[in-house]
Structure 1
Amino acid sequence: MSAELSRTESIREAAEGGIPQALADLGDLVRIPSIAWPSMDQSQLVRSAEAVAALVEGTGVFDAVTVTRSVIPGTDELGQPAVLATRAPRNGRPTVLLYAHHDVQPIGDEALWETPPFEPTVRDGRLYGRGAADDKAGVMAHVAAIRALTEARGEDFDLGIALFIEGEEEYGSRSFAQFLSDNADALRSDVIVVADSGNWDQVTPGLTVSLRGNARFTMSVRTLDHASHSGMFGGAVPDAMMAAIQLLSTMWDAGGSVAVAGLESRDAETPEYSEETLRTETGLLDGVSPAGTDAIIGRIWNKPSITVIGIDATSVASASNTLTPEVSVVISARVAPGQSAADAYAAMEAHLRAHAPYGAQLEFRDVDLGNPFLVDTSGWAVADVRAALTEGYGVAPIDIGVGGSIPFIADLVREFPGAQILVTGVEDPHSRAHSPNESLHLDTFRRAVVSEALLLGKLDERTI
């Protein structure tokens, strides 16, 4: 066996051997309900950050490990606690920044969970629990990979490492840009690994090379200055619900494709992806047709989408024969790679104002924008991560797009323009991130840890 192969195999063996401990530590993290929403117990985020910091400190390789916060721009409010750890490079080696987040989504309707959301449960080769996949598994992939590198090569390896475990990604990363600015020297790196994406399937790794952007906003529709009796005036008076329904319907054509002038699409090839796969991965009901036209995966990766994700109106339980004066909706749009989120939002606002029925009054507020992202795949770090994924999974990775968004990547590009950004992940299409019964496929996690450990080993051998 060659020396190079031996060094690689020693990392692989260390990573494989560390999986039981990594899963045990992941289970402990899942038990902490670290939800960044202000209505939740914020002390749990502190508890979660401290638990992550203890795991990072326990690797024994960092010069400094801290739990810290930054101010949310435009306010006097501090963001949620993040973990920052640094280790200086030696002998001309690069520095890699490892990112993940320890906060999680709210649980939604607890009755839909088959097991308690904050009690990690293993069944059928998967670990269930809120955050088990998104993104505490990403946190543990970093920790486990560092442990494996350390076991294989000792604590005096040459690679520089910066570790940033955020505490508010699910709540909009409100202090993220300020955190980067406050800690620019500590975070400056040659390669950035963002462990917050997914894979093509349970056995095939994915390297995310494109991400849609997002444009989220609240729109209020008003037609009356007070409520009125629907029997007395219905048929002559358009209430806000009637106007809102008609207005929202103009944003899609009859086949479900976005019908807003000015929203752009990206022209790019995509792998084969069948309607049957879509149904399996999403739970699309029998008899319900997919929306849109052209290649299915292209609709998700390269075209815009518009979803109404919230509405303030009279509940079913409180319904009465009343004309509603005002309705508010939250619209979440995904922006195709290549178009700015600001331009996409401007196109939607112009469309809605132009199509408001009956002269309904519209108000727009709470606009949140995040630009799409395209990875430069020409760098040496991309070659290294593709090789590591191939070795770790035994299958060559597929370059994938993601229909979701990671808006803070634009902040990373702006703050560290010279860094090569690699977007990886531990999720598979059945992880159900953000949904009840979120889960982590255990074999995918194992392969992801091995792959990241091998990547760190390759970076530790590279002189820049």
Structure 2
Amino acid sequence: MDHQDIATKAATLMPEVLRDLERLVAIPSVAFPGYPAEPVHAMAAETLELFRSVGFENAELMDVPTGYPPIYGEITGPPGAPTVLLYAHYDVQPAPPEQGWSSDPWTPTRKDDGRIYGRGAADDKGGIAAHLGTLRVFDGKPPCTVKLLLEGMEETESNLEAFVEAHPDLVQCDVFLVCDMGNLEAGEPVLTTALRGDVACIVTVKTLEHPLHSGVHGGPAPDAMMALARLLATLHDENGDVAIDGVSSDEWTGADLTEGAFRAGADLLDGVQLTGTGSIGSRLWSRPSISAIGLDMTTIAGSSNVLIPEARAKISMRIVPGADPVKELDALVAHLESHAPWGAQVEVTRTKEAPPFLCRTDGPAYAAARAALKTAYGKEPGDAGSGGSIPLLRTLEQLVPGAEFILVGPEDVAKARIHASDESVDPSEIEKLIVTQAVFLEEFASAG
């Protein structure tokens, strides 16, 4: 098919594609522990039937020892054609009422801005819809061999890494087309080429054998929560940059977000300043960041006038592409152990070492993807990073060392609000993504 025919057909398919998306968003497929299993299984079954209907006639739910099943299928292309593996995930983040949704997260809602709101609309049911539309462009007969791998537990404790390690033959391909990313702003095409990694630990600070009356002992006796607060404050300098010796950092030279676009997507409160120095892109994608994502101590409701003997915090540090997660976590642990105030006792438990990821940008798939994005958007694409991490990519790289990775998706950073309240997707991004992927398959098949 020529490029104009692809664009025309994609536009014609959009009503059907959006109907599919709305059906999927309405299924609360939260795979987190404690949430009902039935909706996740229903989502898996619905997604399976949709992909069978667009050409993956042999697609099936795969057996896994624990958790929800991945979906795998294959369409054999012409002899000698390259192989492309399509990836997305059918599970979603929780959407608790306290997040402050302005519409029901499980009722796909089209609002005045033209976007579709609902949990998973962008992450990643919008990606699933784009894959469905791409196969429909070719009436289920793409110009190359296409494999399908849909994950059911991407947002929680993934079982897919163990699955692909046990079945490496299923993921052999020339390129992985990962549809779980997005442009920085709608209408501005980028390829995601770098992902930060994620290391984490739990730090416990102890100062007393047991609680003490804050009036009788407060002053000379140190409170563990106050000691922990002072320790956490040493992780950043006065500008909000990470202040840990030995942690890797770099400058981002690709496409960048403006401060206005970042603020619009982050919904900062009035008067709140951005932290850190340098470009927004550097702060998001090529420099480390640290967050305290959990805290254990006495609740306000259960509090009394006592000094706290022990307090704990879970610390997450995003690490830059190219960094060794073990060495980065070593540096964080060493800092925590050496900066406790007042001689407080510190214990650190390591909990996570997820590596960063860098895509090759010198191969035929990357060139074909850039050309496809230019066709779909009418402008040259840039390169962007992602603050999130996908450990699966490193596993796939090790299993298929010669393959390229193309990272795209419908999740425009400025407005999609993935994982937060009022998650949404711009339908025009799904349409352009369908055109991009279809043109890519044509271009890559021809190059192969």
Which range, TM-score by smaller chain? over 0.9
* Residue equivalent to 2:303: 319
The answer to whether the Cα contact below 8 Å between 1:149 and 1:456 also exists between their aligned partners in 2 is: no
1:425 and 1:70 mapped to 2: Cα distance?
27
Structure 2 residue matching 1:198: 3-state secondary structure: coil
Please name the residue that 1:430 is paired with: 415
Residues 119 and 446 (structure 1 numbering): CA distance in 2 closer, same or farther, change over 3 Å?
same
Contact 2:235 2:244 in 1 (8 A): yes
Match of 1:169, SS state, is: coil
Greater shift, 117-126 or 107-116, is seen at 107-116
- Indicate yes or no: 2:168 matched with 1:180: no
Using a 3 Å threshold, how does the CA distance of structure 1 residues 420 and 271 change in structure 2: closer, same or farther?
A: closer
Residues 112-166 of structure 1 deviation map (CA, whole Å, 9 limit, x = unaligned) = 000011111110211111111111111111111111122xxxx454411111110
- Map residues 277-316 of structure 1 onto 2, 5 A cutoff: 277-316=261-300
- SS of residue in 1 equivalent to 2:180: strand
Residue 278 of structure 1 deviates from its aligned partner by 2.6
Q: Name the SS of the counterpart of 1:331 in structure 2.
A: strand
Alignment coverage as a number of residue pairs: 446
> Is 1:412 aligned to residue 400 of structure 2?
no
Q: How does 1:30-69 map to 2 (within 5 A)?
A: 30-59=25-54, 61-62=55-56, 64-69=58-63
Q: Which residue number corresponds to residue 70 of structure 1? A: 64
What is the identity, as a one-letter code, of the residue corresponding to 2:386? V
Paired position in structure 2 for 1:136:
125
Amino acid at match of 2:438: A
Match of 2:2, SS state, is helix
Q: Unpaired segments of 5 or more residues in structure 2?
A: none
SS for the counterpart of 2:253 is coil
**TM-fit CA distance, 1:283:** 1.9
Q: 2:20 aligns with which of 22, 25, 29?
A: 25
* SS across alignment from 1:170: coil
The 8 Å contact of residues 253 and 259 in structure 1, kept in 2 or not, is answered as: yes
- Tell which deviates more after alignment, 397-406 or 269-278: 269-278
CA distance in 2, matches of 1:434, 1:300: 17
Q: CA 1:373/1:207 → structure 2, altered by over 3 Å: closer, same or farther?
A: same
1:163 matched to 2:148? The reply is: yes
The CA RMSD over aligned residues, in Å, is: 1.7
TM-score, L = length of structure 1: 0.92
**Aligned CA distance change for structure 1 residues 250 and 377 (closer, same or farther; 3 Å):** same
What whole-Å deviation, never above 9, does each CA across 1:161-198 have from its counterpart, x for those lacking one? 1111101111142x222111222212211010111112
Secondary structure of the 1:89 match is coil
Distance 1:377 1:387 in 2: 13
The SS at the match of 1:200 is: coil
Q: Residue 146 of structure 1 is aligned with which of 135, 145, 149?
A: 135
**Distance in 1 of aligned mates of 2:396 and 2:402:** 10
From 119, 122, 129, give the equivalent of 2:110.
Answer: 122
CA distance in 2, matches of 1:97, 1:58: 18
Contact 1:63 1:88 in 2 (8 A): no
SS of residue paired to 2:367: helix
- State how far apart, in whole Å, the 2-side matches of 1:100 and 1:272 are: 25
Pick from 312, 327, 332: which aligns with 1:348?
332
Q: Return closer, same or farther for 1:111/1:401 CA change in 2, 3 Å cut-off.
A: closer
Write the letter of the residue equivalent to 1:269: T
The one-letter amino acid paired with 2:133 is A
How big is the shift at 1:273? 4.0
Deviations 1:355-385 (A, max 9, x none): 1223333333361121111111000001111
- Shift in alpha-carbon separation, 1:157–1:373, aligned structure 2, 3 A: closer
Which amino acid in 2 is paired with 1:9? Q
Q: Which 5+ residue runs of structure 1 have no aligned equivalent? A: 1-5, 72-77
Q: 1:217, 1:367 within 8 Å by CA — same for their partners in 2?
A: yes
Contact 1:8/1:457 (<8 A) preserved: no
CA contact (8 A) 1:257 1:291 kept: yes
**What CA distance in whole angstroms lies between the structure 1 residues aligned with 2:214 and 2:266?**
39
In structure 2, what is the Cα distance between the partners aligned to 1:109 and 1:32? 16
The answer (yes or no) to whether the contact 2:252–2:285 under 8 Å persists in 1 is: no
How far apart are residue 388 of structure 1 and its match? 0.8
Shift of 1:340: 1.2
SS of 1:194's equivalent?
strand
1:299 offset after TM fit, Å? 1.4
For the pair 1:82 / 2:65, whether they are aligned, the reply is no
User: Is the contact made by 1:87 and 1:161 (CA closer than 8 Å) also made in structure 2?
Assistant: yes
Q: Give the TM-score normalised by structure 2.
A: 0.95
